[in-house]
Amino acid sequence: MKRLGIIFGVIAIGLAIGGYMFFNGERKAPVRYRTAAIERGSVVSIVSATGTINPVVSVQVGTQVSGMIKSLHADFNSRVKAGDKVATIDPEPFKARRDQAAGNLEMARSNVARSNADLAQRKRERDRVQSLVAQEFVSQNDVDVALTNYQSAEAQLRVSEAQVKQAEAVLNAADLELKYTVIRSPVDGVVVARNVEVGQTVASSFATPNLFLIALDLTKMQVDTNVSESDIGGITEGKDAAFAVDAYPGVRFEGVIRQVRLAPINVQNVVTYNVVVAVDNEDLRLKPGMTANVSIIVAQKGQVLKVPNAALRFSPPQSERAEGASSGGKPVRADAGAGSYSRDASANSGGQARKVWKLGVTGEPEPFAVHTGISDGVSTEVLDGSVADGDMVVIGVETVRGERRSGELPPGFGSGGQRRSAPGRGM
């Protein structure tokens, strides 16, 4: 009997320990999911970029001669017409060069007259010797010398005439340089920038200095913006664009894409393309150089089925995924990639194969295949798939504020009754 009592006692102690562990042991809290509805509405796909406002045509006015700026006849915001004088370079050195060139031309012309007189003299000597050689009054050597002198005089005349042409060219160049000391506007427009002051010396030896920047017409502006290569595919000429500038908060400016330039811009292996947006500026509110935040409408659809982007990004915890969950009557692996869904959705949809998760009868998420179209950054168009208007899709996992698993406690924290307060923070 004593042995039997010991056996029953051990059994009772084991049952007590098992019951305590069953009722008071750590239980796994159920996972709660956040859901959102699939609904119908409009989806507008927009490409955003940052650009700079510039005049459509701007001309840099430089100088073709070097010298000191003697006077300025235009300033910032001055309206000028084609041919108006905008600046003058000190002309005195160029006048001296012109006078020197004119003197050289007169000297060359005098040399031509002297060469003509010498040629006439050599011609008379040749004719006289030729008439005497028949009477044997002179030798043949005298005839040859006279002929050589005549030919030399002819050559000297041609040299003198060439020197005249050379002197005329130098004089014309000096006249042009003297003319270029007066800098004139090549177009009608507004002076946007003036980069010189009176007394400043400009040099045109290596590169033409930029004295003025003249905008042809400030009522017609353009936004030069760079669009990444991943977004350039849907941007074509004629599409609408809108932009905003910091100078006018809340004001939306409208424009049209005028040009998509083919030249790539490669900066640190990032390829972009210059997209030019034309905009009217009749009220002259837009100024050159302003930074514009541009939004280009790539595609737009109304009253289409759309799913939140969070639902497309959602993936349940690995331990919660159900293997062999059904999608529209077809079994779909929960861990399959997007490529596995392209066979389940319609092949003629033309969209991208994606997956969304809906709560099944057991409360666990089940994957369903969809084909998606354009996106506005918040919602994405659903072309086809095993979803309908009003379906609730999982977009995330709900977490109670302050709830933390024992394995995720910060260093220094215990579990159960061994928790300690964090420094500077009460529990």
Q: Please check the confidence at residue 407 and state whether its pLDDT lies above 60.
A: no
Q: Please check the confidence at residue 328 and state whether its pLDDT lies above 90.
A: no
Q: How high does pLDDT run on average in the chain?
A: 82
State the pLDDT at residue 340.
32
What backbone phi and psi angles, to 5 degrees, belong to 271? -100, 130
Instruction: Give the mean model confidence (pLDDT) for residues 231-256.
Output: 92
pLDDT band at 136 (very low <50, low <70, confident <90, very high): confident
Q: Domains of the chain by range and CATH?
A: 32-42+304-398 (2.40.420.20), 48-55+219-301 (2.40.30.170), 59-89+184-215 (2.40.50.100), 92-180 (1.10.287.470)
Nearest Cα to Cα of residue 379 among 288, 306, 278: 306
Q: Please check the confidence at residue 26 and state whether its pLDDT lies above 60.
A: no
State the pLDDT at residue 155.
94
CB neighbours of residue 89 within 10 Å: 25
Whole-number Å distance between alpha carbons of 341 and 312? 13
State the pLDDT at residue 349.
42
Compute the chain's Rg from CA coordinates.
Answer: 46
Question: Helix, strand, or coil here: 149?
Answer: helix
Whole-number Å distance between alpha carbons of 146 and 144? 5
* pTM of the predicted structure, to 2 decimals: 0.63
State the pLDDT at residue 82.
93
Percentage with pLDDT > 90 across the chain = 49
State the pLDDT at residue 389.
86
Q: Please check the confidence at residue 331 and state whether its pLDDT lies above 60.
A: no
For residue 43, what are the contacts with CB-CB under 8 A and spacing of at least 6?
Answer: 300, 301, 304, 306, 373, 374, 375, 376, 379, 380, 381
State the pLDDT at residue 406.
44
Least confident among 94-98, 124-128, 239-243: 124-128
Whole-number Å distance between alpha carbons of 209 and 203? 7
Q: Please check the confidence at residue 422 and state whether its pLDDT lies above 80.
A: no
Q: Please check the confidence at residue 287 and state whether its pLDDT lies above 90.
A: yes
State the pLDDT at residue 255.
94
State the pLDDT at residue 27.
53
288-312 pLDDT, tens digit each: 999 999 999 888 888 889 999 998 9
Q: Please check the confidence at residue 197 and state whether its pLDDT lies above 90.
A: yes
Q: Please check the confidence at residue 355 and state whether its pLDDT lies above 70.
A: yes
